[in-house]
């Protein structure tokens, strides 16, 4: 577990001036802009973006490489890490050693807010559209702001866990050529596979107070919308990049607490979907490294290990 960190906001002195100047120049084409910065430690920086796509402010956490300075003109390779449902942009640094893992790498690590259950999508809202538009926030606003003001380059990889595993593969497929590698850890990679798969997503939304049909609509009546976001249905868009897919089976394993109970609800569904997705990629002739490791719950110790295992593939793809 990472050591406890102390938050310190730039308020005084030269650091404040450079921070404010940097925020002022980092503006996306649609007017999204940085409205706040908080320096957590020398490598960790939180920025707050005023987002037209979301119609509110949203945070993004950065891990910057050695030698990075505010307003840098150097373009660094970028690893985007997406969080899971019910969590937030702080989860990767809170629950893994990603800061230590990337400390010697010449790359920027970007961990954006994806909403509690945003599912990395522009919500359909029963055909009305509008906020939240998480895909537009991530793939347009965040990317443009980071590339214009924070030293992010165009050599990008993406990875995520659970809902974020879905997001990583779905984003890479929906924006061919944008990412050079993608990894999913216990991800939802075939959202239309079964009634159980559909119910899992809708149940997560309902549990947290969201309209389960506002995301992509009804799975039958709006099957085209579900398919347009589903990594399995978009597999042919992923054939040009290396992929990594891992998942456990929901039985307690060596990294789980003693006495932990089996998970019958989430990890087995993710496993079924991930296996189907891998088979589809293989049928199409794509490049995928599967790691279905048997016993393992839907939990952070496994996702940290899988980040380490896939890390060489991700960094090699972006030249970091």
Task: Write the DSSP string, 99-160.
Answer: HHHTTTSSSEEEEE--TTT-TTSB--GGGT--S-BHHHIIIIIIHHHHHHHS-EEEEEEEEE
Q: What is the share, in percent, of the chain residues with pLDDT greater than 70?
A: 92
Buried b (16+ CB within 10 A) or exposed e, 179-214: bbbbbbbbbbbbbbbeeebbebbbebbeeeebebbe
Q: What is the pLDDT of residue 192?
A: 98
Tokens 């972006």 found at: 318
- CA 226, CA 193: separation in Å to the nearest integer? 11
Rounded alpha-carbon distances, angstroms, from residue 280 to 83, 92, 186, 275, 310 = 25, 29, 17, 9, 20
The secondary structure of residue 172, as a DSSP letter, is H
Residue 207, H or E segment: helix 195-207
Contact 92, 183 (CB under 8 A): no
Residues 289 and 238 sit within 8 Å (Cβ to Cβ): no
Helix (H, G, I), strand (E, B) or coil at 45: strand
Q: What is the mean pLDDT of the chain?
A: 94
pLDDT above 80: residue 180: yes
Out of 20-29, 42-51, 53-62, 85-94, least confident range: 20-29
Q: Residue 11's pLDDT band (boundaries 50, 70, 90)?
A: very low
pLDDT at 23: 42
Q: How far apart are CA 301 and CA 107, in angstroms?
A: 24
pLDDT for position 71: 86
Tell me the average pLDDT across 137-145.
99
For the chain, the 3-state helix, strand and coil shares in percent, each to the nearest 5, are 35, 20, 45
User: Is the bond leading into 132 cis (omega within 30 degrees of zero)?
Assistant: yes
CA triple 294-165-253, angle to 5 deg: 25
Strands (E), 55-116: 56-63, 76-82, 108-112
The fold for domain 62-318 equals Rossmann fold (3.40.50)
Q: Mean pLDDT across the stretch 49-69? A: 98
Quote the pTM value: 0.93
CA 251 to chain centre: 25
pLDDT-derived band of residue 146, with 50, 70 and 90 as boundaries? Answer: very high
In the prediction, which pLDDT does 70 show? 87
264 contacts 250 by C-beta, under 8 angstroms: yes
What's the pLDDT at 247?
99
Residue 111 has pLDDT above 60, yes or no: yes
Retrieve residue 163's tokens: 């809902």
pLDDT mean over 128-135: 99
Identify the CA nearest to 199 among candidates 304, 138, 273. 273
Look at residue 7 in the predicted model and tell me its pLDDT: 38
């Amino acid at each position: 577990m990472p050591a406890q960190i102390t938050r310190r906001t730039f308020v005084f002195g030269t650091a404040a001036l450079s921070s404010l100047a940097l925020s002022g120049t980092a503006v996306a084409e649609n007017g999204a802009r940085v409205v706040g910065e908080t320096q957590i430690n020398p490598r960790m920086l939180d920025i707050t973006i005023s987002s037209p796509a979301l119609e509110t402010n949203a945070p993004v956490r950065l891990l910057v490489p050695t030698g990075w300075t505010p307003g840098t003109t150097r373009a660094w390779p970028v690893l985007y890490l997406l969080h899971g449902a019910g969590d937030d942009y702080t989860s990767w640094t809170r629950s893994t050693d990603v800061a230590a893992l990337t400390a010697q790498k010449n790359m920027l690590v970007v961990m954006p807010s994806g909403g509690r259950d945003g599912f990395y999508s522009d919500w359909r809202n029963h055909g009305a559209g509008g906020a939240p538009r998480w895909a537009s926030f991530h793939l347009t606003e965040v990317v443009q702001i980071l590339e214009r003001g924070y030293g992010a380059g165009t050599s990008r990889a993406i990875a995520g866990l659970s809902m974020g595993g879905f997001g990583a593969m779905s984003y890479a497929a929906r924006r061919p050529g944008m990412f050079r590698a993608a990894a999913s850890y216990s991800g939802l990679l075939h959202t239309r596979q079964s009634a159980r798969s559909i119910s899992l997503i809708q149940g997560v939304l309902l549990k947290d107070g969201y309209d389960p049909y506002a995301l992509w609509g009804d799975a039958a009546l709006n099957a085209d919308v579900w398919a347009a976001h589903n990594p399995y249905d978009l597999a042919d868009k992923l054939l040009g990049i290396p992929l990594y897919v891992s998942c456990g089976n929901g039985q307690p394993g060596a990294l789980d607490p003693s006495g932990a109970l089996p998970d019958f609800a989430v990890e087995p569904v993710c496993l079924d979907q991930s296996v189907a997705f891998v088979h589809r990629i293989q049928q199409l002739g794509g490049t995928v490294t599967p790691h279905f490791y048997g016993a393992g719950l839907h939990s952070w110790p496994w996702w940290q290990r899988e980040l380490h295992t896939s890390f060489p593939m991700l960094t090699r793809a972006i030249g970091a």
